[in-house]
Amino acid sequence: MKLRALLLGLLFAAAAPAARAEVLIFAAASLKEPLDQIAAQFDDVVISYGGSGTLARQVGLGAPADIVLLANADWMNVLVEDGQVQVASVADFASNRLVLIGVQEAAPVALRADTITAALGNGRIAVGLTEAVPAGIYAKAALQSLDLWEATRDQLAEVDNVRAALALVARRQVPLGIVYRSDTRITDAVSELAVFPAESHPPIRYLGALAAGADPAAEPILAYLSGAEGQAILAASGFLPPQDVVE
């Protein structure tokens, strides 16, 4: 009888889903430095970084996230429409600027077709995927707005997140890249060559939300982002306060 009870206990234990002891955050790659600091204020937090589009698709397919932090309102709207996040929890918590970067010793570049073409030579512009990664989406909009798209579209090196674009420039694999201003804070190997006008692209919005099945322990972490301490950490990493956006 004891053996039978033991075997039944093992069987049910094997069949039961494993409980997660930690809060799992899916976050845009550009948030890594400040979010690592914020996560250190809490126990049992695990962060998965990536492109916002990739993360949103993973959540949509059932990935067990508790908090979702994206750098694009459209991807968050997809999750809202699909019921993957708690609507009442969705909120902007930061914004950013879009910049053109080059290697550390590069000279500033005017945002004109002739000067960018000269700076590129036979090289490419590293940029997030222009149809999926927020930094790439913003970059495409800015290039189109400034009449630079036709001159540059065939020289883009599209990658799956903004930090990969930064790395290509830092490793001197490409002469130019388009990233967030906050990204330039993490390495001395690149320099800011130009700032894209804010009106040349949609507002860069960072939005956070609790996933539909979030652990209650996730709530204070998300609240911390918008609080004074969280905002101070974000500002020290080069992020701007959330913008007033009229939908």
CB distance 168 to 206 below 8 Å: no
Residues of the chain falling short of pLDDT 50: 1-19, 245-247
**Same domain, yes or no: 110 and 91:** no
Please report, as a single letter, which amino acid is at residue 26.
F
Tell me the whole-structure pTM to 2 decimals.
Answer: 0.83
Domain match, 107 and 196 both: yes
- Give the pLDDT score at 27: 97
Looking at residue 21, what is its pLDDT?
57
Q: Which two tokens stand for residue 208?
A: 């956070």
Enter the tokens of residue 45.
Answer: 């937090």
Q: By CB neighbour count within 10 A (0-12 exposed, 13-18 middle, 19+ buried), where does 115 fall?
A: middle
208 and 89 in a single domain? The answer is yes
Indicate whether 91 and 120 sit together in one domain: no
Q: Which amino acid belongs to residue 31?
A: L
Q: Report the CATH number that the domain containing residue 214 is assigned in CATH.
A: 3.40.190.10
pLDDT of amino acid 56: 95
Residue 247: the pLDDT is: 42
Q: What is the pLDDT of residue 244?
A: 56
Q: Using N-to-C axis directions, what is the helix angle for 32-39 and 219-226, rounded to 10°?
A: 130
E strand or H helix at 39:
helix 32-39
The pLDDT, as a whole number, for residue 17 is 37
Instruction: Compute the distance between CA of residue 42 and CA of residue 146 in angstroms, rounded to an integer.
Output: 44
Task: Please tell me the total count of domains within the chain.
Answer: 2
In a domain, 10, yes or no: no
